[in-house]
Amino acid sequence: MSIDLTFIGQIIVFLTMVFLLKKYLYGPLNDAMEARTKKIAEGLAAADAGKEAKAKAAAEIDAQLKDARAKAQEIVAGAEKRAAELSEEAVVKARTDAQQIVEAARGEVEAEANRARQALRKEVASIAMMAAERVLDEELDAKRHAKLIDNVVSEGFGRA
Amino acid sequence: MAEQSGDGIASHLQYWTYVVDESNPFMQIHVDTMILTVTIATLLVGFGIWLKGRVVEGAPTGAQNFMETVVGFINDTVNDNFPVHNPHVAPLAFTIFVFILLCNTLDILPAYLIGHTAHLFGAEHFRPVPTNDLNLPAAMGVSVFVMVLYYEFKLKPVHFMKELVMEPFTSLVPMVLKPVVMPINLILKLVEEVAKPLSLSFRLFGNMFAGEVIFLLIASLLLGGGAVAMTAGFFVGLGWSFFHLFIGLLQAFIFMILTVVYLSIAHQPVEH
């Protein structure tokens, strides 16, 4: 139980072991642990960054959706307005067209009636002439008595 | 049991000694301590080389997982105590802890098993626990002490020299008396410094040696008697084995943490 050469031997053993264990046992394990720590830290940072990017993207999507919706609203409103204008125009145009058609028809009808009246007047004149011929039994000069016949016809038809 | 009671406890506390020079008591070597420490060191380094080939950066398993727990524990201890980063301290603490723990754990092997095996190889005595040999704790304690001195001189030479002669009395005495108290200071400071390796090595040695002696006492007092005493001796010995195992772990931890603390004091930046 005394200090002797073993002491020197133990110092050598101890220091050699410190050196060798650092190289072969502690070093590799420590390196592996540090690498893992770094990896995990990087992974967590990446996850955080990903989450942030996702939130950013979501916000952007929201903004864009809102924008698009507003734009769509605008477009629909514009289209509705334009449609209303168009229909209004169409109605107005249809109304004027109808008016025109009605007026044209009315004019035509009047002209037709006039023509019919003229034709009837001639017919009545010739009938009256024939009747007068029968009555007088004599041929009347149509030109000479035209004024008389006209008077009779306008009297008869004016009231009709 | 007969030979044990005949020789007494003292015979079990003899080393397998190889005497180099009869006239000089220093010139002898404890073959058992050397064999055991070199074996443990070889096994540790072999284990390290074996493990190094299969260390993975991903999820660790088995032996790597276990050793990483130890490394993480040592790293935490060192980082908690150290003001600056020194890459040599954690491996040193790791070696001290693992090595002392393994040496202490040898104590739970039956002493006779190793002793009788050694007898077959012609050894007269064989001490199974290398930490029981004062040479091992002293060697480690002195190595640590030399490292502490090295860092003291390397990191703050002026401050350390000043501390040697100026503490603790200088500020208390008038200017004229300063040269007088300087030698006293130096002696006190030297005692303080030398106490570090002494307490470090004797603490470990004393604990492990006492544990061994108690094992031998239990054996010689109880195992020699009748069946009842044998049974009692078995259980008492078993209980002491567990307790001694715990002491071994505790002493390994204490030696490691004191090493870290002494070195961290040497690394402490100078306060002005």
What residue spans define the domains of chain A?
A: 5-158
Phi/psi of residue B19, nearest 5 degrees: -90, 120
Which phi-psi region, left, alpha or beta, contains residue B62 (left: φ > 0; alpha: ψ -120 to 50)?
left
* ipTM score for this prediction: 0.82
Measured distance CA(B35)–CA(A83) in Å, rounded: 106
Run of H or E including A25: none
Distance from CA of A46 to the nearest CA of B (A): 18
Distance from CA of B136 to the nearest CA of A (A): 6
List the domain boundaries for chain B. 2-267
Q: Is B199 part of the annotated catalytic residue set?
A: yes
Measured distance CA(B265)–CA(B257) in Å, rounded: 12
Which among B58, B91, B136 has the least Cβ separation from residue A10? B136
List pLDDT tens digits, range B44-98: 899 988 888 887 777 788 888 888 889 999 999 888 888 788 888 889 999 999 9
Question: How confident is the model at residue A51, as a pLDDT?
Answer: 96
Higher pLDDT, B38 or B121: B38
Return the residue matching tokens 């004019």: A107
Range ranked top by mean pLDDT from A52-61, A119-128, B34-43, B86-95: A52-61
- Cα–Cα distances in angstroms (integers) from residue B11 to residues A45, A65, A160, B175, B230, in the given order: 65, 93, 170, 60, 22
Whether residue B138 is predicted with pLDDT greater than 80 in this model: the reply is yes
Instruction: Determine, for residues A3 and B26 on separate chains, whether the beta-carbon distance falls below 8 Å.
Output: yes
Interface probe for A, chosen from B23, B37, B42 (most Cβ of A below 10 Å), is B37
Whether residue A75 is predicted with pLDDT greater than 50 in this model: the reply is yes
pLDDT band at A138 (very low <50, low <70, confident <90, very high): low
What's the whole-number average pLDDT of chain B?
A: 82
Q: Is A40 on the interface with B (CB under 8 A)?
A: no
- The chain A residue lying nearest B41, using CA atoms, is A17
Strand ranges inside chain A, DSSP E: none
Question: How confident is the model at residue B11, as a pLDDT?
Answer: 66
pTM for the model stands at 0.71
Instruction: Determine, for residues A14 and B75 on separate chains, whether the beta-carbon distance falls below 8 Å.
Output: no
Q: Is B203 part of the annotated catalytic residue set?
A: yes
Q: Is B75 part of the annotated catalytic residue set?
A: no
